[in-house]
Structure 1
């Protein structure tokens, strides 16, 4: 569960230091005749240190960075002024020199930025406070001003050139105003592999050209396209390819001619085709055919897709229009994807083949089912969802949005969409109006920072974009994805060299890394250092497999249940294997490999499991870190839907309830719920300690579970599970999707419910207003428990949770 407090200052960084003079200082850098009047703090590149946050003391500040070749890496240094303002703090950085070699990363590969703070007066959610947040990264001209008693962030961005020798590189950042200079050591590790120019996760991060033009003085003509080109490549260099190409779309031949250099560039992951329409608004099929035919003839169609914005985020009432447009685009271009911003629903399957779901509505099971039939699935985030889901909002942590790239690889999501990176104006409910982007964080109502990841450089005399801390963090995540892609390819190559078939589960080799970082996208420890450590582990395995594909054992980890893990170790023939010191016998052999297997039962917490492989007298060891959650293997009934008394404990609005023999997973009957059409938020509610359930204290239980069946043959069930607290608070962030004809067990971990679990009023299942009635079957509402025999049915003897 995410923990809120000071923005991501990690406990491991709260090191003892010294207070000298008027500022915080550290003994490692304080060997000076006169003390500087400021403190220095080095957080991770995922920490957001607000302007007025208290700054932890550090005994020996050092900027530690690591990256592969052909990768950018960012770092931060926070300066905290003492009792007096810093009027001219000089900042410089050296080149980075290879230890034990002659290679270097020159100053031309290093950029320095000052972090611009923007004031959030109305927080997006209650999870993070109002305050001055670091956001825009303004090129640093060598000097800084810092107000007394306040923080100023310095952002360092290093590019590792292709072909650079691996190893450790060192340098320093020097800060000087009064007293002796402060020298912050830099230790930069270059790992022994190189990222490709290609990005293997597609993106569509849209640039709004009209807003860019207005923010740069109203440029027109070729100057307009030249300006958009700068924004376009600035985004591509962050591995976030914009949707539209920065070329005119009106004339087909001109579009193809000017688009070709972009499409052929390996750094461009995908591009959006114009959806031409006639004067009456209908799709211009002949013109689209002409465009697609010309692109196909030049071999330029592979990266193309449509995104018909006239049916953006459609509700059920617009499904017929979605189907009509999909059919017309398929007629014009049967070999081009056409994305729709909606989670997969049965009503559109067969017509829509490319889906873009909100991250909180991504249904992994349904998505994989559709992908197996040839469909494509992306996801996106925007104003919604908000915390606890990952966002790009100014007042949210950076770790969650970076983890989205890991989750994207884990869940098999092919691409990411974002509606705009350049909303420099403000939506007032009817139109966009001017705003001061440097002081007003709201571009679109509802979320600070949503709709823009750049600032306009025009205000600073820059003919192009100014990046943000949020943008740089998304690039870091995109590069993490490339690590995972690279590792997966090497695992597959190693498996092939051992003679393992295509059925080898390469994903199971990566799974422990994912499990170290999160349970799901809304449930992860706020520990940026953990992600950096896992990234280091992934990098190490990449380097080992690249160097010796057959000499490195392949270790898969599966989870039979919450408290056990099954290790399978695949080695070249003739090796001996031990897991945590226990020798294993081969459980399977093939032409080129032996397989060893062991299942461990583990207590909750973090575990390190050692795998030792001995071959030809040489032993190599590796460690897999495993995060094991608390286990709740038993069920405490909450409402069993087996009697009229069970039915009567539910209250309802716009829903008819009764027992049914048509569905049962426990006992003899189930609950039939008919949700009416034309009712705002039809719902059923199980409320009240002592009447609806035994007690308001749910804190000893693990999760709410229930079984649901959607009997409709061609409609997906979409509803929410809402939790209520006795003081009137609620948590309405739990989305459920059940495809047509399917039965599912729904599990909502109670650690994800953002309420006081000792004061629970109850649960509610609700839908948005329906155009047609919808029937669902439910059964066996229960809370998972650590011990057997418990119950939450009112009037029964309550067992321990």
Structure 2
């Protein structure tokens, strides 16, 4: 039965909708004509411009008042326009127009307009309190018509207002550059905004290859937020997640009570559930469906009802057999009683085994029933195999060897993938999942409001690199405060769970604005865009592998993909910028488009030694290649027919420029393309810095090409070497990476910190243990993404060991600074 909370009146709805952050326009009657000057500008879609922050603070990301979008076919891509008002703006509107490319037309109906709605973040909670300002952050993306209806298309004096444009590129769009303009009217004035849309001749897969479980729940206050106490409201959120290529949690049927784990009490539940989800999971973009289950408590503790699970799996598999399709691979199991078992103490090992024994028994029984059912033998066999391989996802904070025989699919916190040793622990057969819950903090990707938009987007680039197939996020619609009470304002409560802004909610309620579906956040758009990026990366990798097999010449996409990944993150640490991200994304689109063309252009090898970069290029045998204007000769030809390729080897020096310019010719047509080389490296040898070095309780002497550092036994402090010198002034926003040569005994701990001109705090840039006794190069990448508001690097502090260590000798060699390319 569907019940509505009728006590909420239209007056309350209006007041609720108009509640906002600090930047509110003057009430009607005060300066009724508006008419203040407005400055228009744009910035990258992944930047977050605060409502009340002075525009000068955005000089590094500020762009002209125009929209530039670069997108593949069958994907969404965003752009934003910022209006900075000197005086109150009483009303503004946006008019779209078609864009054109020759006689081709990109229709304006493919663009959605959103008003950025601001939420007050009083405290920076994502680990960037030293570099980010508290204030009014954009998050909810309110459909523009709804904003106008609510009277929110107004700007207070001295405030910024963002307008977000979401471009959908139909797969029938002709590749090319479309231009035109959109128009913003405000208080009787008009501003034309140039628009440039580049459509690439490469397509994002309709099928989503990333599995996701973004949990939505009825018990988290959603009924109050939506003024709807029916269980159906949860499924509306599941459908809303689908628009972002994300899978929701459970799909409840029948009950009006708290429902997770209550499935199957009604004999009709299985059929109702199957009818509810079938059309949804049949769509290629929807990759994941969580199996419902009945929670029981018995001698094993909290467990599942085995027979209900068996019957549910069998019913789904039988529908697949009936419809002549196998969708069982989209099913996953996630059972809350074994969520994070590593944190539950004694008995958890046995408990996981008890639950998984029932899961395995249920899947095997369902598989046997399918094998014995009527129908096509080959399809039955395929479906039965898929049933046996249904993954049960178990979120954990760490690897527990005692659970190895029971856990089906490990789903570790993303921090585990930050180190090689952590990644190695979870390099196991089957699907690889990870999850985020209560963090992590910057510089790791997270879904917090104040975090840069490129963090959740690059998250999926990291997933491609590490072979992650599934992503679990614990809550997408938590509509209660930290104490579990209903919210007074669903659009102005940033901290709801465990003290982090935006944690556990990615939506805002629809009903305050009279909408028929929840209001999505910027963070959801970034997550969707990341998934689409990952589809292109996966296709590029698979394409290289396919051409390698077809031509008989062995190569992979590893080198070129890793060069892009290295420009964005190190382990799981993302220390980059929006400008850098979009530069790397353009390179990815260029490579994807060239490979998809008749040229079949592929970078099969990329090796760097000092300032020299060597490339191996694969090209269709029908094409020729020029580098820096000179025709190149292939070193070999492989394959035949349409799979015949030529292989070229090229070398370039970073000291000659940041790019290698290539020309690909096919008949009379030529295509220009540039391969990034990276910036040049400047090496400072130990002999050049040793005189200015300071050893805390010890000595430094030149020993060949190394500085030999002899430390006395330490007591109240850690052994430390402090290096200074003019060469450190080159380290800053234009630096790609810094490398240090260290030598000590295997297992010796080290920590490297920057000391800045205007800060009393040291910034740890690297830490770890030496793997062996040999000279080791420690490279810290993406230096340009560091916080540079404290001035230049004044000194480098290198710590060894722990407090109380005995005397030791270590060696330190050259320090290399590599500029951005």
Map 1:310-349 to 2 at 5 A. 310-315=337-342, 318=345, 321-322=348-349, 324-326=351-353, 328-329=355-356, 331-332=360-361, 333=363, 334-342=388-396, 345=399, 347=401, 348-349=403-404
- 1:449 deviation in Å? 1.3
**Match of 1:30?**
none
**Cα 1:543–1:372 shift into 2, 3 Å:** same
Query: Secondary structure of 1:555's match?
Result: strand
Pick one of 521, 544, 548 that aligns with 1:491: 544
**Match of 1:626?**
677
Q: Does 1:43 align with 2:64?
A: no
Bigger mean CA offset, 404-413 vs 253-262: 253-262
Query: Secondary structure of 1:86's match?
Result: coil
Looking at structure 2, the residues matched to 179 and 596 of structure 1 have their Cα atoms a distance apart, in angstroms, of 61
Q: Does 1:270 align with 2:283?
A: no
Assess if the C-alpha contact under 8 Å between 1:444 and 1:450 holds in 2.
yes
- 1:568 deviation in Å? 0.9
Bigger mean CA offset, 436-445 vs 700-709: 700-709
Cα deviation code 1:655-687 (max 9, x no counterpart): xxxxxxxxxxx9xxxxxxxxxxxxxxxxx9997
TM-score by length of 2: 0.72
Looking at structure 1, the residues matched to 714 and 138 of structure 2 have their Cα atoms a distance apart, in angstroms, of 43
Query: Secondary structure of 1:376's match?
Result: coil
**Match of 1:749?**
780
Map 1:517-556 to 2 at 5 A. 517-519=568-570, 521-526=572-577, 528-548=578-598, 551-556=599-604
**Match of 2:530?**
477
Q: Does 1:95 align with 2:97?
A: yes
- 1:396 deviation in Å? 1.8
Looking at structure 1, the residues matched to 47 and 742 of structure 2 have their Cα atoms a distance apart, in angstroms, of 35
Assess if the C-alpha contact under 8 Å between 1:685 and 1:764 holds in 2.
no
Q: Does 1:359 align with 2:414?
A: yes
- 1:451 deviation in Å? 1.3
Query: Secondary structure of 2:231's match?
Result: helix
Cα deviation code 1:435-462 (max 9, x no counterpart): 5232221012332111111111222233
Looking at structure 2, the residues matched to 508 and 69 of structure 1 have their Cα atoms a distance apart, in angstroms, of 26
Looking at structure 2, the residues matched to 730 and 709 of structure 1 have their Cα atoms a distance apart, in angstroms, of 26
Assess if the C-alpha contact under 8 Å between 1:635 and 1:783 holds in 2.
yes
Query: Secondary structure of 1:76's match?
Result: strand
Query: Secondary structure of 2:595's match?
Result: helix
Map 1:184-203 to 2 at 5 A. 184-203=193-212
**Cα 1:213–1:687 shift into 2, 3 Å:** same
Pick one of 607, 621, 624 that aligns with 1:559: 607
Query: Secondary structure of 2:675's match?
Result: strand
**Match of 2:24?**
none
**Match of 2:263?**
250
- 1:511 deviation in Å? 3.6
**Cα 1:630–1:105 shift into 2, 3 Å:** same
Assess if the C-alpha contact under 8 Å between 1:112 and 1:156 holds in 2.
yes
Assess if the C-alpha contact under 8 Å between 2:751 and 2:768 holds in 1.
yes
- 1:392 deviation in Å? 1.7
Pick one of 212, 221, 231 that aligns with 1:224: 231
Q: Does 1:238 align with 2:244?
A: yes
**Match of 2:647?**
595
- 1:730 deviation in Å? 6.5
Looking at structure 1, the residues matched to 560 and 390 of structure 2 have their Cα atoms a distance apart, in angstroms, of 34
Pick one of 421, 428, 440 that aligns with 2:476: 421
CA RMSD of the aligned region, Å? 4.7
Assess if the C-alpha contact under 8 Å between 1:271 and 1:305 holds in 2.
yes
| Structure 1: gaps spanning 5 or more residues | 1-33, 637-645, 650-665, 667-683, 711-716, 767-778, 788-801
**Match of 1:165?**
174
Cα deviation code 1:318-351 (max 9, x no counterpart): 4862464256425333522122223663614444
**Match of 1:52?**
52
Map 1:381-400 to 2 at 5 A. 381-400=436-455
Query: Secondary structure of 2:193's match?
Result: strand
Looking at structure 2, the residues matched to 409 and 370 of structure 1 have their Cα atoms a distance apart, in angstroms, of 18
Assess if the C-alpha contact under 8 Å between 2:510 and 2:517 holds in 1.
yes
Looking at structure 2, the residues matched to 419 and 600 of structure 1 have their Cα atoms a distance apart, in angstroms, of 48
- 1:70 deviation in Å? 2.5
Assess if the C-alpha contact under 8 Å between 2:296 and 2:305 holds in 1.
no
Query: Secondary structure of 2:722's match?
Result: coil
**Cα 1:338–1:697 shift into 2, 3 Å:** farther
**Match of 1:654?**
none
Looking at structure 2, the residues matched to 177 and 693 of structure 1 have their Cα atoms a distance apart, in angstroms, of 60
Looking at structure 2, the residues matched to 574 and 564 of structure 1 have their Cα atoms a distance apart, in angstroms, of 29
**Cα 1:731–1:181 shift into 2, 3 Å:** closer
Query: Secondary structure of 2:460's match?
Result: helix
**Cα 1:686–1:169 shift into 2, 3 Å:** farther
Cα deviation code 1:47-77 (max 9, x no counterpart): 2111122236989622222323322222211
Assess if the C-alpha contact under 8 Å between 2:741 and 2:775 holds in 1.
no
Query: Secondary structure of 1:145's match?
Result: coil
| Structure 2: gaps spanning 5 or more residues | 1-33, 254-258, 321-325, 364-387, 688-694, 699-705, 707-712, 729-737, 803-807, 817-821
Bigger mean CA offset, 513-522 vs 199-208: 513-522
- 1:291 deviation in Å? 2.8
Q: Does 1:569 align with 2:590?
A: no
Q: Does 1:119 align with 2:125?
A: no
Query: Secondary structure of 1:282's match?
Result: strand
Q: Does 1:702 align with 2:739?
A: yes
**Higher helix proportion (structure 1 or 2):** 2
**Cα 1:350–1:737 shift into 2, 3 Å:** farther
TM-score by length of 1: 0.73
Assess if the C-alpha contact under 8 Å between 2:121 and 2:494 holds in 1.
yes
- 1:599 deviation in Å? 4.5
- 1:388 deviation in Å? 2.3
Query: Secondary structure of 1:103's match?
Result: strand
Map 1:303-314 to 2 at 5 A. 303-314=330-341
Cα deviation code 1:179-220 (max 9, x no counterpart): 532222322233333333321222222212322533335634
Query: Secondary structure of 1:111's match?
Result: strand
